[in-house]
């Protein structure tokens, strides 16, 4: 049985547990008084963290790259925020999420626009770039549909030209391949920070420096960055970074954000606009009609009614991360990724590893194939055994993907490794 919120609070080891929020109860657990951020913690510590999630114990959930399950503090914050709005009619308060997000990713509040997901942010960036017929944009051969389709659509409608680079096994070689692809018509590089297909960590800071030296725009699909890696978008140097809160940030589904560098906001044209994205001086009843201008911040890229509960949940997700320690989380998810990769490679040469083994080029996602077995056959066997992973059909890869987070244990990964091993013994 999954741990309920009631039993979670009861196990908080504090006298007034019934009066505490789930976040307060979580932070009060004596087991969570771990060593400093530079020190390692025990498996007992991570078992305590696992109790904050309502995930079923019947499943080994190894698919965080699709959806990150929210912990109780986030779920409670969403509920409380919705109740507040429905009880009092409150509307303001959602904007606090932009402040929290800016702090979390190394940006200024005025550089953060609230979106529903990474795809929405990518569309804002894709259509807002000043590109003309024949201009070239560099993507990768490992795109998610959310980054591929907006650019394919713009190619279709505006006749820009797309070119795709194949990521290399090392960061240095990947950078060299991108540099070799830049030509006189290249205007932008729009690649994933971490491709959804095999989890390679791209050398985005170096790519952005290269692009800046050549006068190119940079737009990063960051769906898998925040929450897996500690970010500093100012240091990264990109023009635009689109992400979501429902994967590695473990936030509410239907929330995301778009970072647009302050001095790039005059370049990136808003098209989808509404309330909150303007200066508020328009008047349709005046003669002549009085126009307005864009907000002097990334608020220009969004507008309209927001869900207070969802954005309260985003704030709670960030506080959850900060309670544990962002550096500690990054080390944990990276170590689980290495444990997964090592365990698969130990099974022999019938495992084709797609994720680089270079330390800086891998983190918490592992992509692989089983030679002699179709990916969908093994995926179905995993589902039958309550091991949830992802099949990767994109771009003809026909592979498998494992993605782990702080609620996972070595035992979860061992269930997958054992299942692969069983299928390598002749069960095809």
The last residue of one of the domains, among 274, 295, 319, is: 319
Q: Is 111 helix (H, G, I), strand (E, B) or coil?
A: helix
On whether residue 63 sits in a domain, the answer given is: no
* Max intra-chain CA distance, the chain: 80
State the residue for tokens 């003809």.
Answer: 396
**301 and 416 inside one domain:** no
Q: How far is CA 3 from the centre of its chain?
A: 26
Say what the pLDDT of residue 39 is. Answer: 63
On whether residue 65 sits in a domain, the answer given is: no
Return d(Cα 46, Cα 25) in angstroms, integer.
16
The last residue of one of the domains, among 272, 301, 319, is: 319
Token pair belonging to 20? 């505490």
Token pair belonging to 99? 């402040």
Give the chain's domain count.
2
Return d(Cα 244, Cα 259) in angstroms, integer.
11
**280 and 354 inside one domain:** no
**251 and 302 inside one domain:** yes
**205 and 258 inside one domain:** yes
- Residue 340's CATH number: 3.90.1150.10
Q: Which of 419, 350, 427 is nearest to 389 (CA)?
A: 419
**357 and 276 inside one domain:** no
On whether residue 32 sits in a domain, the answer given is: no
**314 and 338 inside one domain:** no
Q: How far is CA 122 from the centre of its chain?
A: 13
On whether residue 69 sits in a domain, the answer given is: no
**158 and 287 inside one domain:** yes
Range of the domain at 171: 96-319
On whether residue 34 sits in a domain, the answer given is: no
On whether residue 22 sits in a domain, the answer given is: no
- Residue 190's CATH number: 3.40.640.10
Q: What's the DSSP call for residue 226?
A: B
Helix (H) or strand (E) holding 390: strand 390-392
**351 and 306 inside one domain:** no
The last residue of one of the domains, among 319, 350, 375, is: 319
Return d(Cα 226, Cα 81) in angstroms, integer.
23
Angle subtended by helix axes 118-128 and 145-158, to nearest 10? 30
Say what the pLDDT of residue 16 is. Answer: 37
**301 and 375 inside one domain:** no
On whether residue 89 sits in a domain, the answer given is: no
Q: Is 192 helix (H, G, I), strand (E, B) or coil?
A: strand
**315 and 283 inside one domain:** yes
Instruction: For residue 148, give every residue at least 6 positions away whose Cβ sits within 8 Å of its Cβ, in sequence order, or none.
Output: 139
- Give me the tens of pLDDT residue by residue for the chain, a chain 428 residues long: 445 656 555 554 443 344 456 667 776 666 665 555 556 688 999 999 999 999 999 999 999 999 999 999 999 999 999 999 999 998 888 999 999 999 999 999 999 999 999 999 999 999 999 999 999 999 999 999 999 999 999 999 999 999 999 999 999 999 999 999 999 999 999 999 999 999 999 999 999 999 999 999 999 999 999 999 999 999 999 999 999 999 999 999 999 999 999 999 999 999 999 988 999 899 999 999 999 999 999 999 988 889 999 999 999 999 999 999 999 999 999 999 999 999 999 999 999 999 999 999 999 999 999 999 999 999 999 999 999 999 999 999 999 999 999 999 999 999 999 999 999 986 54
**307 and 351 inside one domain:** no
404, 405, 410, 416 alpha-carbon torsion, rounded to 10°: -20
Return d(Cα 309, Cα 314) in angstroms, integer.
9
On whether residue 26 sits in a domain, the answer given is: no
Say what the pLDDT of residue 8 is. Answer: 55
**239 and 138 inside one domain:** yes
């Amino acid at each position: 049985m999954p741990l309920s919120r009631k039993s979670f609070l009861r196990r908080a080891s504090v006298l007034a547990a019934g009066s505490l929020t789930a976040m307060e109860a979580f932070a009060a657990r004596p087991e969570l008084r771990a060593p400093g951020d530079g020190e390692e913690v025990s498996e007992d510590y991570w078992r305590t963290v696992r109790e904050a999630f309502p995930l079923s114990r019947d499943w080994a959930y190894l698919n965080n790259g699709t959806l990150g399950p929210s912990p109780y503090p986030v779920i409670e914050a969403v509920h409380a925020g919705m109740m507040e709005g429905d009880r009092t009619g409150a509307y303001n308060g959602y904007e606090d999420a932009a402040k929290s997000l800016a702090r979390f990713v190394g940006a200024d509040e005025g550089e953060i626009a609230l979106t529903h997901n990474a795809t929405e942010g990518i569309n804002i960036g894709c259509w807002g770039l000043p590109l003309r017929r024949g201009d070239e944009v560099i993507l990768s051969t490992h795109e998610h549909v959310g980054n591929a389709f907006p650019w394919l659509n713009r190619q279709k409608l505006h006749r820009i030209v797309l070119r795709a680079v194949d990521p290399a096994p090392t960061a240095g070689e990947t950078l060299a391949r991108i540099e070799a692809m830049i030509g006189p018509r290249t205007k932008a590089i729009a690649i994933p920070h971490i491709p959804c297909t095999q989890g390679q960590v791209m050398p985005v800071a170096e790519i952005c420096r290269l692009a800046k030296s050549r006068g190119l725009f940079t737009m990063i699909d960051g769906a898998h960055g925040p929450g897996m890696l500690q970010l500093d978008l100012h240091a990264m140097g990109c023009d635009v970074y689109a992400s979501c809160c429902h994967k590695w940030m473990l936030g509410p589904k239907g929330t995301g954000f778009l970072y647009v560098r302050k001095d790039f906001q005059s370049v990136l044209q808003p098209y989808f606009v509404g309330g909150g994205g303007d200066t508020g001086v328009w008047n349709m009843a005046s003669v002549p009609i009085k126009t307005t201008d864009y907000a002097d911040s990334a608020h220009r890229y969004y507008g309209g009614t927001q869900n207070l509960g969802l954005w309260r949940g985003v704030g709670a997700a960030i506080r959850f991360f900060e309670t544990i320690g962002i550096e500690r989380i990054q080390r944990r998810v990276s170590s689980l990724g290495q444990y997964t990769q090592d365990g698969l490679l130990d099974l022999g040469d019938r495992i084709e590893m797609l994720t680089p083994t270079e330390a800086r080029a891998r983190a918490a996602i592992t992509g692989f194939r089983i030679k002699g077995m179709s990916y969908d056959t093994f995926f179905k066997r995993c589902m039958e055994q309550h091991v949830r992973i992802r099949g990767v059909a994109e771009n003809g890869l026909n592979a498998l993907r494992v993605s782990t987070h702080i609620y996972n244990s070595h035992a979860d990964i061992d269930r997958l490794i054992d299942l692969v091993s069983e299928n390598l013994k002749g069960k095809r």
